[in-house]
Amino acid sequence: MKFILLGVLYFVQGIPYGLQSSLLPIYLRGVGLSFTHISLIKALYFPWILKILWAPFVDQYWTKKTWLMLSMCGLGLICLVCTLLTPELDFLLLAVIMLLMNFLASVQDIAVDGLAVKILNRKELGYGSTIQVVGYKLGSVLAGGGFLTVMHMLGWNILFLMLASVYFLAILYTWISPEFVVIPKNSTLKSLRAKDKTLNASEIPKELLCVPGTLWTLGFVLSYKLGENGATSMFPLFLLDHGLSPAELGFWNGMVGMIFSIAGSSLGGIILNKQSNLHDLLRISLLLRLIGLCFQTILLLVFTTDFWCMIVAAVLSIVVQHFIGGLLTTLTFSLMMSCTQRAEERIQATHYSFLATMEVLGKLCFSTLVGGLIDWTSFIFCYLLFILLSFIPIIQTMYAPQFQ
């Protein structure tokens, strides 16, 4: 039963990401918004970068069940509010709503991760990690490609009414679930203070950066998604401008692409069990991604919907990039975990959260600006920039410290 509960929670946690990464860009471009406006939506992920600031409150006050109920109720109510919006006319209001949705989703993320740690024993952690990745991505598939595929039939209002129903069903299941473990309030904090009374919060940043391999890992997680994220978000919009329908893009990029991303993530875990040299695996995956970006750049120059083979090639490039992206994500998170294991036990959780926050920052810092760059220059110029940026993490792997 605990795996079902975690699956449900991670599933609904993936919904806001699917909305912003797959559904909104295609929908807003379809109603005439500029690439600049669409890219700026990425900035609304900002609460995920700051979640380390409110994580202690989720950890120390109330229970994980309370935080989950509050965050999911808020997300369900936001979906109901969205049924009253006309996105192309209420863009600023939509931006505020999505910012609030990301804040609540980040609170839910903290609570569900804390719950997973408490209800899973050591032998179940592997299964829990798989459920986390698959559940999250399936939620994003539903809200992104799935809803985009049927939006022309159901409309904006009905889709968000359905999303609100999904949240309220998850709330009901969470409420009746027997899987929550009651732990005395602040027990972890008190235990930590008892073990190390000299722990000073002002010294924690220095301690984090002193962990062997941290500076290199920070550089890698900030750079490894730069080229990929720009291409993943912009190539479907290029295809939309050249004749493919939102429903087709919702199916191939949002649904099939995410299925391949899940497959890539799963394969990453399998390969790691058979091949211990993580840096070599990362380098090979990054080289494959670079080849895929070069192929997409060629497509930008020759693409036309007059030939079916062009459409097949474009779709193939999308699913391959999603597959490699999923593979890279699993390998990179394993790299982060390897680095964190070198830290003292008292700061390991903080160290990993620090790396994860920088990973999100690396994803957003360029993809937020790329739409404006395309509006000012061209797709070709930006793809050449994507290729150049994709060389950076490849070079970094050549100078990786051995902290595995």
pLDDT digits (tens, 9 = 90+) for 364-374: 777 777 888 88
Tally DSSP H helices, then E strands, for the chain. Answer: 20, 0
Query: What per-residue confidence (pLDDT) applies to 364?
Result: 74
pLDDT at 5 over 70: yes
Q: Do the Cβ atoms of 394 and 286 come closer than 8 Å?
A: yes
Q: Which domains does the chain have, with CATH numbers?
A: 1-190 (1.20.1250.20), 201-404 (1.20.1250.20)
Burial (CB count within 10 angstroms: exposed 0-12, middle 13-18, buried 19+), residue 85:
middle
- Given pLDDT bands bounded at 50, 70 and 90, which one contains residue 45? confident
The alpha carbon torsion through 93, 97, 99, 101 (nearest 10 deg) reads: -170
Give the phi and the psi of residue 301 in degrees, each rounded to 5. Answer: -80, -30
CA 368/CA 164 separation, integer angstroms = 28
Q: Dump pLDDT digits (tens) for 281-298.
A: 899 999 999 999 999 999
Nearest CA to 56 among 207, 196, 189? 189
DSSP string covering 347-373 = GHHHHHHHHHHHHHHHHHHHHHHHHHH
Are 216 and 401 spatial neighbours (Cβ–Cβ below 8 Å)? Answer: yes
Q: Does the pLDDT value for residue 317 go beyond 90?
A: yes
DSSP code of residue 212? T
Residue 309: CB atoms within 10 A of its CB come to 7
The DSSP string of 121-186 is -GGGHHHHHHHHHHHHHHHHHIIIIIHHHHHHHH-HHHHHHHHHHHHHHHHHHHHH-S-PPP--TT
* The two three-digit tokens of residue 322, written as one number: 């999603």
Least confident span in 12-16, 83-87, 116-120, 390-394: 116-120
> Nearest to residue 366, comparing CAs of 342, 396, 388, 351?
388
pLDDT tens readout for residues 349-362: 567 677 878 888 88
List, for residues 158-197, the tens digit of each pLDDT value: 999 999 999 999 999 999 987 664 444 444 444 444 444 4
Q: Which helix (H) or strand (E) holds 243?
A: none
| Mean residue pLDDT across the chain | 82
Whether the predicted model's global pTM rises above the 0.85 cut = no
Alpha carbon 128 to chain centroid distance? 17
Measured distance CA(300)–CA(282) in Å, rounded: 27
pLDDT, position 192:
41
In 3D, which of 285, 268, 266, 270 has the Cα closest to residue 220?
A: 285
